[in-house]
Amino acid sequence: MLEPAYQADVVVVGAGVAGLSAAHRLTSQGVTVTVLEAAHGVGGRMATEKVDGFRLDRIGRLLSAAYPGPRLAPGLDGPVLLPFAPGVLLHSEGRRHRAGVPAGARGARSARGALHAVRALASAPRSVPAPRRTVPAPLAPGGAVAVARPRTGAPLGTAVDQARLGAALTRLAHTPVERLLARPELPAAEALAARGLPPRTIDGFLRPLLAALLCDPDLTTSSRCADLALRAFAGGRPVLPAGGAEAVPEMLARSLPPGTVHTGVRVTSVATNSVATAEHGVIRCRAVLVATDARAAAELLPGLRVPDFHPVTVVHHTTDDPPATGASLLLDADRGGPVAHTAVVSQVDPSRAPAGRALVSSTVLGPVPSDVDAAVRIHLSRLYGTSTARWETLAVHHAAEAVPAMRPPHDPHRPVRLLAGLYVCGDHRDTSTVQGALHSAERASAAILADLGAGRPMHTAEPLPAASAA
């Protein structure tokens, strides 16, 4: 058990990626840290369920190869990030179209690559036929039949439309982040319409892509945050952590000194120099960092604003006859059903499924249909052009508060220092991404080090009993 009189320089409440990353930064400067987590494992929303040899992420957030993870989280030097196929597949009117930016170097090289890719699309056949099969229309939320939005031609439009999109991506790919954050701020949907891109390009490509990247089907997100997401997409492919989302927080936890992280410890209150726990009494310290989700943080820190949230549902299926889409991320340009994006993730990361089986993971954004599995199966049969009747449902994971909303005006640098000795971090203090969580941890740990005058140990802490360490 934890000793009630135990002293630490800093107590971190929450063992998600933000708390673990901050703990790594602090311990690397000689600060003694105790991380307390109420759950029985680390990771928070980056959890992975294991079912019969499958690894099933609870929230299917997309990471980007363009994110500078090792710089923002020094303990992340080792995770293997596995890329999707270049660009995305767009399903429109029964056909699949390859679109998007290939992986490449950041900056000008990446921007040129984006333009070259779009020019190639303009001069090459623009569609890949999906096998034509007659399937029932998908169900919309509430059980009504969802009618696909009519559109003629490829979702990217004409060759001129594609060139204009390429030029826009070119500018975005090498625009400094500071300039993006200084742009006028609108809801993303309004900003797209105001930038002169053809409606076909917006509805057929940018809307479904941004919905997938932001987990926001209505694109109410700040246009500045949407620009950051598009910039990351232009700079590198979407990626998955090998072995599941939990691999990222688990690697951070392993990088900490033994005995730093304690799971199954519920914090009931915090002060600038102590935390009270339900199981182990009061733990004294010199500073407290609350690194939980937004709602839990507000319960410990009265007055902290709780944002709205985007709900996310992930449906996992398995089959022994996977669709022929390879390692591609598939989006529905027609928005003809509940699925926002889907992929045969075992083609990206074979460790997520046992040999001989494929894992298909599909994400539903917004309200959930009354019979989500049936609605998703019907929609997937259209998207993949194959029957899903024999697919086995492995799990349906719904998170009502999966992603903090970033509606304008949104401050991506919300304060992390509340008082000397009391700090907060997480994606709700930055952008609602893994990148935002890591960046807020960087800011919070820097504030703590500055206040404590760290760079050397402030005092010698008693060792924690090994039995309670996770």
Residue 294's φ and ψ, nearest 5 degrees, are -60, -45
Q: Distances from the Cα of 469 to the Cαs of 2, 42, 106, 164, in angstroms?
A: 9, 12, 41, 56
Whole-angstrom distance, CA of residue 42 vs CA of residue 24: 14
Residue 168 one-letter amino acid = A
Whole-angstrom distance, CA of residue 177 vs CA of residue 179: 5
CA-based radius of gyration for the chain: 23
Report yes or no: 469 and 17 within 8 Å, Cβ to Cβ: no
Whole-angstrom distance, CA of residue 278 vs CA of residue 269: 9
| Nearest Cα to Cα of residue 362 among 389, 337, 333 | 337
pLDDT of residue 294: 97
The Cα angle at residue 75 between residues 74 and 77, in degrees rounded to 5: 80
Report yes or no: 93 and 247 within 8 Å, Cβ to Cβ: no
Report yes or no: 170 and 115 within 8 Å, Cβ to Cβ: yes
Whole-angstrom distance, CA of residue 64 vs CA of residue 429: 20
Whole-angstrom distance, CA of residue 33 vs CA of residue 23: 6
pLDDT of residue 174: 86
- Residue corresponding to tokens 């200084």: 182
Whole-angstrom distance, CA of residue 193 vs CA of residue 184: 14
Residue 352's φ and ψ, nearest 5 degrees, are -85, -5
Print pLDDT tens along the chain (470 aa): 454 445 799 999 999 999 999 999 999 999 999 999 999 999 999 999 999 999 999 997 899 888 765 455 666 665 688 999 998 999 998 999 988 754 333 333 443 444 443 333 333 333 344 443 333 444 444 444 344 444 445 677 777 877 777 777 778 888 999 999 999 999 999 999 998 788 888 999 999 999 999 999 999 999 999 999 999 998 888 999 999 999 999 999 999 999 999 999 999 999 999 999 998 899 999 999 999 999 999 999 999 999 999 999 999 999 999 999 999 999 999 999 999 999 999 999 999 999 999 999 999 999 998 899 999 999 999 999 999 999 999 999 999 999 999 999 999 999 999 999 999 999 999 999 999 999 999 999 999 999 998 544 444 333 433 333 34
Whole-angstrom distance, CA of residue 378 vs CA of residue 76: 39
Report yes or no: 363 and 342 within 8 Å, Cβ to Cβ: yes
Complete edge-to-edge strand list for the sheet that includes strand 88-92: 128-129, 95-99, 88-92, 330-332, 339-344, 358-365, 309-319, 392-404
Q: Which ranges of 47-153 would DSSP assign to H, the alpha helix? A: 69-72, 108-123
Q: Which ranges of 8-154 would DSSP assign to H, the alpha helix? A: 17-28, 69-72, 108-123
Residue 31's φ and ψ, nearest 5 degrees, are -85, 135
